[in-house]
Amino acid sequence: MRVLVQRVSSSSVTIDGECCGAIGAGLNILVGITHSDTEADAKYLAEKCVCLRIFEDEAGKMNRSLLDIGGEALIISQFTLYGDTTQGRRPFFGDAARPEIAEPLYEKFIGFVKAGGVKVATGRFGADMKVEIQNDGPVTLMIESK
């Protein structure tokens, strides 16, 4: 499992012209799932995201977590995180899990983040979404469970 974590001032997701999720300061989290991922991967990455110290303290150092700042999370499914571009010019997505595997794990990940005490907004699994991200820093990290 992979997550692309972006520290944001705000972020929102729109589907068919309608805003279905928006947050203020916090994390925009794009979630990619592969065939071998399990609930343990979802739990590990959710805890990592909730506790990751990438928000500035009074001294300007990245020393605070999402919980420390009372931040929110916008969580979006993103199968293209498993796109392979090593050959040719068109990405290969064979490493991305099929929806019947990916969607339940995506939902588990959301549940684990919520259980960690974070207010969560989401997109819709499999939908064509427009995501607006006000990246703060910018701070962007790729985190993997394996």
DSSP 24: S
DSSP string, 84-137: B-SSSSS-B-TTBPPHHHHHHHHHHHHHHHHHTT-EEEE--TT--EEEEEEEEE
Active site residue 80: yes
Look at residues 11, 16, 31 and name the one whose alpha carbon lies nearest to residue 107.
31
Catalytic residue among 14, 34, 38, 80: 80
Domain region containing 39 = 2-144
Beta-ladder partners of 32: 2
Number of domains in the chain: 1
Q: Residue 68's domain is classified under what CATH number?
A: 3.50.80.10
77-119 confidence digits (pLDDT tens): 999 999 999 999 999 999 999 999 999 999 999 999 999 999 9
Average pLDDT score, the chain: 97
Residue 146: band (very low, low, confident or very high) from pLDDT cuts 50, 70, 90: confident
Average pLDDT over residues 45-60: 97
